[in-house]
Each structure stands twice: as C-alpha cells, then as structure tokens.
Amino acid sequence: MNNFDFYNPTRILFGENRVASIDEYIPGDARVLVLYGGESARRTGTLDEVKQALGKRTVFEFGGIEPNPQFDTLMKAVELARSEQVDFLLAVGGGSVIDGTKFVAAAIPFEGDPWTILTEHGVNVRAAMPFGTVLTLPATGSEMNINSVVTNPKLHAKLAFKSPYVFPQFSVLDPTKTYTLPQRQLANGVVDAFVHIAEQYLTYPTGAMVQDRFAEGLLRTLIDLAPKIVEGKNDYDARANFMWTTTWALNGLIGAGVPQDWATHMIGHELTALYDIDHARTLAIVLPSLLRERRDVKGEKLLQFAERVWDITEGDDDARIEEAIVKTEAFFESLDISTHLSDYELGEEAIEAVVKQLEAHGMIALGEQQEITPDVSRRILQRSLKA
C-alpha cells in the first residue's frame, strides 16, 4: 500500500426526514443561495422542505442547472451570489447540481478566468464558499468528495476539477428522496457507482486488504441490490443501502493508497461532451472493452474480481477473466444499459472524434500505468463498436 492522506470532513445526515437538520449546520444569519436543477426538486416538494428548514434566513434561488452542468449557466449563479453577497450555498439535486455548486463555490472568490479552474483541474483553487447538499440521486458520490465535472458545450469540453476546498460541509442523504427517480436514473446510479469502484479496484495488487475487501463488498452489494432498485418499488431498506453504497464508492476510502485507473471516465466524458450520452451509459460502453484491452496488466486483479465478486472459480485464468467481464456486461445490460457504440447509433467516425478530443484535452497517457495512449483508447472503442 502506498503512503496516503485520508481526510473527509463531510458530515452525513442520513435517514428519513433529515432535511430539517440542516438548520443546525448553517449559520442563523447566513444569506443562502439554494441551487437546483430542472423541475424535479420543486415538483417533489424537496425545495419547499429545504426552504422551510432554512426558516428566517435570507434565501435566494437559482434553478436550471442542467444534467452535465454547463459553465455559462453556473457563471450566472456566480454573478447572483456575488451581487447578493451570499455567504452559504445549498445544492438540492443529483451529481450535476452538486458538481455545479462546487464550481460556483470555487468561482465566487476566484481571481482570473474561472474556466481555468477546469483547465487546470483545480490546482489553482485557493478558497471556496462553504456549502451543503441535499442529495436526490444516488450515483456520483459528489455529496462526500472533492470532485466536480463541468461541461462547456461551445468547446465540446467536459472537464473535471478537484480541490480540498470543495468538500461539502454536510450532506443530507434521505433514501426516500429516490422514490421519485425514473428507472433510467436509478440504473445510471447503479452503473456509475459500479464503475467508480472498478476504477479504484481493477488495477494491480498492492496488498491493500481493507480497500480491496471494502471494494468487493460494495460491488457485491450493488449486484445484489440492483434488481430491487430498478424494479421501482419504494423499498426503504434497499434504497438506503443503495444510497450509502454509492456514497462510499467515491468518498476516498477505497482509493486511499492504491493505484487508480479513471481512463473509463475520461473516455466516457468525451462521449458525453460530443454525443450527449448519459454519464453512466458511456462508462458501460467503455469499461468492459478497457478490461479486455488491458487484460495483461490487470490480470491479477481481474482474477481476484472473478473469484471474490462473481464467485467464478472454474476454468483457466483466461476463461475466468473473460467470464467475469461477460458477467459485468450482462449486469449492465440487465439494467437496460447498452454496452456498445452501435446501440447509440455511433460508428467508426465517433471513435476518431473521441480520440481527437482526448488528444485536445491532454488525455494521452491514461490509466494506472499511464499507458493508455490515444491509440490504446482507439482500440478500446473499436472493441465496443458492436456486439
């Protein structure tokens, strides 16, 4: 295991009816900007619940943050926060609203062009406004991490930044908030979390027993829960376990001191930026092919994955690894998430376009070994072309 710092100051307020608890963690005299997405927060009543919990504080609202939040939209929130001298932000939504709020929090005090927060991936962030979150979609882990992904459609760019200044101060995790989610978003959440774990686990062994067992437990939990989650019944225990799994999939613990891949995400972000495919669906296209392409360097961990996650113990090494990848693909497909480019009406031309964008964004040495060059990315996508 490598040396590591592990620090996560986000307070989790977990359970039903916890929105009211935000009152304890926001200063009584705060000027609060509540940020949300389209209409779901209002339609489901969560926005009203939040406003009630904020009581007599001065509250401003900023709605309209898109899925895959857009730079220009977020800059309007920055302007509003500055002009109204807001001093606390509250995100109500899924990963897009929370990521957008992190960007707004960092951009408010930022001197210089805020787009550089993304092009420099956050190393230039020196301060951020405090914020909390009310999570309505379990998937990204953004409620308990320092990552944010912002899209600039004019540039066909979807870029990530991270900064220890954008840890949420608190996050409300109320599993009943997931009851209004459509099947598509629930399935996306399962796959996004699965791939977050895979990106931190399917690399090479470093003797990190806690991180490995934790990752395997989270993967098995997702596999067990998935059918119950997508069938759409409002089963509190299933949703509570699901929500907690997605948070732990990307709150830093399983990634501490171990090599990490993230090439699936970087290639996936280009697919979303170019073709507007849901984040999780891009991951389902890329991951199985990436595992096949990188089978040699990931072999030991893939065998461990086959045995400990999928209970595959028979056959030679190659057969067990292939079976584990086939099961992973079948798992995604069982959630109605297609795993090939052709399923999204994309062909060879899309592969070249993605590779060009990866080069433009400096994504030329990806993966835990920095060996995923544009040529390797091209081969990965070619494997994903058709079933």
**Pick 192 or 212: Cβ nearer Zn ion:** 192
Give the x/- contact pattern for Zn ion in 49-68, rule: CB under 5 A: --------------------
**Pick 105 or 306: Cβ nearer ligand NZQ:** 105
Mutual angle of helices 95-107 and 71-83, in 10-degree steps = 50
Of positions 70, 101, 133, 142, contacts ligand NZQ by CB under 6 A: 142
Query: Counting contacts by CB under 5 A, is residue 143 touching Zn ion?
Result: no
CA distance 10 to 27: 16
Stretch that binds ligand NZQ, among 40-48, 76-84, 215-223, 298-306 (CB under 6 A): 40-48
Site for Zn ion in 163-222 (CB under 5 A): 192
Reported residue count of the chain is 387
* Backbone phi and psi for residue 132, each to the nearest 5 degrees, phi listed first: -125, 175
Query: Counting contacts by CB under 6 A, is residue 180 touching ligand NZQ?
Result: yes
State the sign of the Cα–Cα–Cα–Cα dihedral 270, 273, 276, 279.
Answer: positive
**Pick 148 or 328: Cβ nearer ligand NZQ:** 148
Q: Considering the complex, what minimum distance in angstroms separates the CB of residue 66 from ligand NZQ?
A: 7
CA distance 211 to 178: 28
**Pick 33 or 65: Cβ nearer Zn ion:** 65
CA distance 131 to 103: 11
Residue type, 142: S
**Pick 68 or 241: Cβ nearer ligand NZQ:** 68
Of positions 70, 133, 148, 171, contacts ligand NZQ by CB under 6 A: 148
State the burial class of residue 354 (Cβ atoms within 10 Å of its Cβ: 0-12, 13-18, 19+). buried
Q: Considering the complex, what minimum distance in angstroms separates the CB of residue 147 from ligand NZQ?
A: 3
Q: Considering the complex, what minimum distance in angstroms separates the CB of residue 149 from Zn ion?
A: 8
From the list 200, 203, 202, 175, the residue with the least C-alpha distance to 189 is: 175
Residue whose tokens read 């699901």:
242
Residue type, 363: M
Query: Counting contacts by CB under 6 A, is residue 174 touching ligand NZQ?
Result: no
Stretch that binds ligand NZQ, among 3-11, 163-171, 173-181, 231-239 (CB under 6 A): 173-181
From the list 354, 246, 248, 333, the residue with the least C-alpha distance to 288 is: 333
Rounded to whole angstroms, what are the CA distances from 365 to 166, 352, 384? Answer: 27, 17, 20
Q: Considering the complex, what minimum distance in angstroms separates the CB of residue 345 from ligand NZQ?
A: 21
> Is the Cβ–Cβ distance between 89 and 101 less than 8 Å?
yes
CA distance 43 to 290: 40
Query: Counting contacts by CB under 6 A, is residue 203 touching ligand NZQ?
Result: no
**Cα distance from N-terminal residue to C-terminal residue, the chain:** 38
Give the x/- contact pattern for ligand NZQ in 92-131, rule: CB under 6 A: -xxxxx-x--------------------------------
Q: Considering the complex, what minimum distance in angstroms separates the CB of residue 268 from Zn ion?
A: 7
Residue type, 158: K
Of positions 132, 141, 168, 288, contacts ligand NZQ by CB under 6 A: 141
Query: Counting contacts by CB under 6 A, is residue 67 touching ligand NZQ?
Result: yes
**Pick 312 or 367: Cβ nearer ligand NZQ:** 367
Mutual angle of helices 183-201 and 279-293, in 10-degree steps = 30
Which residues of this chain interact with Zn ion, rule CB under 5 A?
A: 192
Which residues of this chain interact with ligand NZQ, rule CB under 6 A?
A: 37-41, 44, 67-68, 93-97, 99, 136-137, 139-142, 145, 147-149, 177, 180-181, 185, 188, 192, 250, 265, 279
